[in-house]
Amino acid sequence: MKRRPSTITDIAKALNVSASTVSRALHDSPSISQETKDAVIALAKQLNYQPNMLAVSLLNKKTKTIGVIVPEITSYFFATVISGVQDMVEEANYKLIICQSNESFEEEKKLIETLSLGRVDGFLISPSSKTTNFEHLEKLRASGNPVVVFDRDCPNFEADKVLVDDYDGAFQAVDYLVKTGCQRIAHITGPKNLTTCQHRKAGYLDALKKNGRTVNPDYITEVEGFTSEDGEEAAKKLLDLDTPPDAIFAINDAVAIGAMAVIREKGIHIPEEISLVGFDDEPYSKYFKPSLTSVWQPVYDLGMLSSRILMNHILNDLEDYNYRYELLKPELIIRNSSRPLP
Amino acid sequence: MKRRPSTITDIAKALNVSASTVSRALHDSPSISQETKDAVIALAKQLNYQPNMLAVSLLNKKTKTIGVIVPEITSYFFATVISGVQDMVEEANYKLIICQSNESFEEEKKLIETLSLGRVDGFLISPSSKTTNFEHLEKLRASGNPVVVFDRDCPNFEADKVLVDDYDGAFQAVDYLVKTGCQRIAHITGPKNLTTCQHRKAGYLDALKKNGRTVNPDYITEVEGFTSEDGEEAAKKLLDLDTPPDAIFAINDAVAIGAMAVIREKGIHIPEEISLVGFDDEPYSKYFKPSLTSVWQPVYDLGMLSSRILMNHILNDLEDYNYRYELLKPELIIRNSSRPLP
DNA sequence: CTGTTAGCGCCTTCAC
DNA sequence: GTGAAGGCGCTAACAG
């Protein structure tokens, strides 16, 4: 049943020519007679010949494959980034190996190791929330592998980076909450390690300060993960305060939705009594009741741009290259979970 | 900058031994002196030696990699299946190449071609909604590639299959709608080609018939895709009927959510005036208002089982094998978008 | 204990 | 136009 795939040598033997001739014929080399070509191609089709890319890659030292490592494939955000990457990379006739680290540092290291052994031509990486040490990336780059970091920054690791201006997104959101009259604005932040979370928190803090508000540490609470269940817990904590907040800016939409459920259970009205803003603008977010105000990110472009930069690296061997640092602009999408501007 | 990765030969030369000795030392072969081993291993580490898997795979005719083709990586359903697959496959020390066809037949063929050229050891495939011809799969299997089809069946293509009992899920849902007193139960079905949609529709029809209801063709409408926008359109059509339905069983949760939005806009009450049931039980579904009744599927298990069967095929060369046909049981999760049983 | 040989499948010189 | 030789990096079989 398990037949040996036919090779260039099989064709050569059957046709009484040399393997080189077959190879040349298959590549439509001008120095091969039409007859031979026809014969070779015909037989190749008949034998269902398929070039063995392993052999080709071994020879060329190019796999025409890039490795993508994301923390979670399940999330709308990363899944969409990947779509962008795929569309870009396809044009260059490159393939993608998609891997998820499940937010685990160990898995991330292992994945990089494996991809590296498999000799992928380049890496697109968004580190896990547990990753604080970037030696594995340093090592990767030290051995000459093109690496582009996206969405989540790796501080102190020099590389091409394509990020979203999380600070700006958060600032827009909180500034808007202030301007719509919210007095006690809370923030549900995410894992400390993540620059995305740090920057969103910084945006939150600065928006408060620029508007002359004092920061109340009780109004900042942290979640371990990014799920709605995490959001529920965090919201409960906030609502149990003696003077609960009248606005919550959540680290992302999933968390915001969990918060929304808790708020609703308590019979508190959104946005009259409490405003709610998320981050990501997931497809479902507009369908909640009330529809969720959120910060949209150029996710698809993030994928396109990251892979464009990576491909540029791979295809043109660049000397003395200055790493690029791209910051994409997010945008606040106002819906009904927050009040209108006066 | 782009350094040539060090090879076994580099180490051999530097140490004045043969490449085989190095190879054996690296594999901790018992027939190598401890000294030599130590020397080799030390130098290997120093040179940052990494075995070239391309060469190994070429030699073994095994890549220890399996290819997964799904229509859409973005969907909760497939993303979760992949998690199951990954966890299973990892135990066997296999890698995954994840690809999405974007519901395009052409892309699907191309992906299979590419993976096949890359000599993956096996395939896990859920066909696109445009796929009606299975020659590409036949060809794949004919050349001895293990193939497992999951979730979406390929009629007339013999292979291992791991599916969900969509008929049963739909039957449960509609039977329940009948029992809760719904008189005019509509169904939003999906792309005709998909067996999942066909079976859900069959379950819907049979549940009506078994309960002595007549089927009103006006109450069956079809969507092209699986998005909430599709659901909105479909729901509008249904609600514009002279006697609109008092229940909608939607092909999946995303579509149901679109329908929910339209129903709400018209000021119709769920579930008092109209019941709504989805399929998939996505994580968000319980957070909608009202929370969505839906058919849960054993998604993670689907991934685990499919890959277990595939791995079994790959690891044990099975002769005269009878293809397996596994049908996993879904479960109706009752929430507030439908009425309670009397 | 270690070296030599051969070959996985392919392509690229260099000959003729 | 075509063939022969060599090699990508690695391992297994056969010798010592």
B24-34 tens-digit pLDDT: 999 999 989 99
pLDDT in tens, A282-340: 999 999 999 999 999 999 999 999 999 999 999 987 766 789 999 999 999 999 999 99
Q: Is residue B339 part of a domain?
A: no
Distance CA A280, CA A299 (A): 9
Could you tell me if A105 and A115 are in contact, meaning their C-beta atoms sit under 8 angstroms apart?
no
Q: Residues B171, B216: one domain?
A: yes
Q: Which residue has the tokens 């089709």?
A: A45
Q: In terms of Cα–Cα distance, which of B88, B72, B180, B167 is closest to B126?
A: B72
Q: What is the pLDDT of residue A320?
A: 67
Asked whether residue B283 is domain-assigned, the answer is yes
Q: Which residues contact A274 (CB under 8 A, 6 or more apart)?
A: A244, A245, A246, A247, A248, A263, A268
Chain D footprint bases within 7 A of protein beta carbons:
1-5, 7-13
- Distance (Å) from CA B59 to C1' C4? 19
Judge whether B3 lies within some domain.
no
For residue B340, is it within any domain?
A: no
Please name the residues between 15 and 34 in chain A that touch chain B, using a CB distance below 8 Å: none
Q: Do A283 and A170 belong together in one domain?
A: yes
Positions of strand C less than 7 angstroms from a protein CB: 1-13
- Average pLDDT across chain A, whole number: 95
Residue A23 shares a structural domain with residue A119: no
Same domain, B219 and B141: no
Residue percentage of chain B with pLDDT more than 90: 93
Same domain, B283 and B191: yes
Assess A58–B contact: CB distance below 8 Å, yes or no: yes
- Show residues of chain A in contact with B97, CB under 8 Å: 95, 97-98
Torsion of CA B184, B185, B186, B190, to 10 degrees: -170
CA distance B281 to B234: 20
A336 occurs within a structural domain: no
Q: Hey, of A48, A287, A313, which one would you mutate to test binding to chain B, going by the most B CBs within 10 A of its CB?
A: A287
Give the max Cα distance, chain A.
90
Dihedral over Cα of A151, A155, A160, A165: its sign: positive
- A306 with A160, same domain: the answer is yes
pLDDT at position B319 is 67
Is A107 part of any domain?
yes
User: What six digits make up the tokens of A14?
Assistant: 């059957």
Q: Is the bond leading into A271 cis (omega within 30 degrees of zero)?
A: yes
**Same domain assignment for residues A122 and A233:** no
Q: What is the pLDDT of residue B18?
A: 94
Mutate which: A10, A78, A85, A98, vs B, most B CBs within 10 A: A98
Residue linked to tokens 């329940």: B176
**Count of CB atoms situated within 10 Å of the CB of B69:** 20
Confidence of residue A4 (pLDDT cuts 50, 70, 90): confident
Q: B217-258: per-residue pLDDT in tens?
A: 999 999 999 999 999 999 999 999 999 999 999 999 999 999
Give the bridge partners for A282, in sequence order.
none
Read off the pLDDT of each residue in A6-22 and give the average, rounded to a whole number. 95
What range defines the domain where residue A200 resides?
166-297
CA angle (B193, B194, B196) in 5-degree steps: 150
Peptide bond into A51 cis (omega under 30): no
Q: Do A58 and B54 touch (CB under 8 A)?
A: yes
Tokens linked to B208? 């009506």
| Integer CA distances (angstroms), A168 to A160, A294, A332, A340, in order | 21, 13, 10, 20
Closest residue to C9 (CA to C1') is A55
Give the CATH number for residue B215.
3.40.50.2300
Determine, for residues A98 and B98 on separate chains, whether the beta-carbon distance falls below 8 Å: yes
**What would the mean pLDDT of B165-172 be, rounded to a whole number?**
98
Whether the bond between B217 and the residue before it is cis, its omega within 30 degrees of 0, is: no
- Could you tell me if residue B334 is inside a domain? no
Nearest to A118 among B53, B86, B283 (CB): B53
Candidate from B54, B95, B96 with C-beta closest to A119: B54
Give pTM, 2 decimals: 0.93
Together in a domain, B183 and B205: yes
- The secondary structure of A200-232, three-state, reads HHHHHHHHHHHCCCCCCHHHEEECCCCCHHHHH
**Which residues have C-beta within 8 Å of that of residue B240, sequence separation ≥ 6?**
none
Instruction: Write down the pLDDT at residue A322.
Output: 87
Q: Is the pLDDT of residue B1 over 60?
A: no
Indicate the residue type of B267: G
Exposure string (b/e) for A165-197, b if CB count within 10 Å is 16 or more?
bbbbbbbbbbbbbbebebebbbbbbbbebbbbb
Task: Please compute, for residue B103, the number of CA atoms within 13 A of its CA located in the half-sphere on the CB side.
Answer: 12
Q: Which of B33, B35, B11, B6 is nearest to B22 (CA)?
A: B11
Q: Which ranges constitute the DSSP H helices of A92-124?
A: 105-117
Mean pLDDT of chain B, nearest integer: 95
Q: Does A46 touch chain B (CB under 8 A)?
A: no
Quote the pLDDT of residue B320. 66
Q: What is the token pair recorded at A253?
A: 């939409």
Cβ-Cβ contacts under 8 Å, A82 against chain B: 73
Number of A/B CB contacts below 8 angstroms equals 126
- Best CA proximity match to A190, nearest among A168, A219, A223, A215: A223
- Confirm or reject contact between A98 and chain B (CB < 8 A): yes
Secondary structure of residue A95 in the 3-state scheme: strand
**A144 and B2 in contact by Cβ < 8 A?**
yes
Cβ <8 Å between B289 and A264: yes
CA of B61 to C1' of D1 (A): 34
Give the pLDDT confidence score for residue A319 in this predicted structure: 67
Residue numbers in B near A73 (CB within 8 A): 73, 79, 82-83, 98
Q: How many residues does chain A have?
A: 342
Q: Check CB contact under 8 Å for A117 and B53.
A: yes
**Mean pLDDT within B200-213:** 98
- List A residues 105-124 in contact with B (Cβ-Cβ < 8 A): 114, 116-119
- Amino acid B63 reads T
Contacts with A52 from chain B: Cβ below 8 Å: 58, 117, 119
Q: Is the pLDDT of residue A1 over 60?
A: no
Q: Does one domain contain both B186 and B263?
A: yes
Q: Position of tokens 């075995």?
A: B51
Q: Rounded to whole angstroms, how far apart are CA atoms B297 and B279?
A: 8
Residue in A with minimal Cα distance to B5: A143
A290 and A259 Cβ atoms separated by less than 8 Å? no
Around A124, how many Cα atoms within 13 Å sit in the side-chain half-sphere?
36
With 80 as the cut, is the pLDDT of residue B5 above it?
yes
Q: B158 and B180 share a domain?
A: no
Element (H, E) at B295: strand B293-296
Cα–Cα distance for residue pair B70/B167, rounded to 1 Å:
22
- Tell me: the pLDDT tens digits for B68-117? 999 998 899 999 999 999 999 988 999 999 999 999 999 999 999 999 99
pLDDT tens-digit profile of A141-181?
988 899 999 999 999 999 999 999 999 999 999 999 999 99
Quick one: how many helices (H) and strands (E) in chain B? 12, 12
- DSSP structure class, residue A119: T
B261 has a chain A CB within 8 A of its CB:
yes
φ and ψ of B2, to 5 deg: -75, 90
**A54–B51: do the CB atoms touch at under 8 Å?**
no
**In-domain check, residue A121:** yes
**A140 and A180 co-located in one domain:** no
Stated in angstroms, how far is A27 CA from C13 C1'?
17
Q: Which residues of A151-162 are buried (b: 16+ CB within 10 A; e: fewer)?
A: bbbbeebebbbb
What pLDDT does A74 receive?
87
Residues A208 and A286 in one domain: yes
State the pairing for strand pair A185-189/A160-164.
Answer: unpaired
**8 A C-beta contact, residue A103 and residue A72:** yes
Contact A289 B289 (CB under 8 A): yes
Number of domains present in the structure of chain B: 3
Amino acid making up residue B40: V
pLDDT confidence of residue B317: 72
| Contact (Cβ atoms closer than 8 angstroms) between residue B268 and residue B295 | no
Mutate: best of A48, A58, A145, A260, partner B, most B CBs <10 A = A58
Residue A184 forms contact with B (CB below 8 Å): no
The better pLDDT of the pair B143, A85 is held by A85
Interface residue B328 vs chain A (CB under 8 A): no
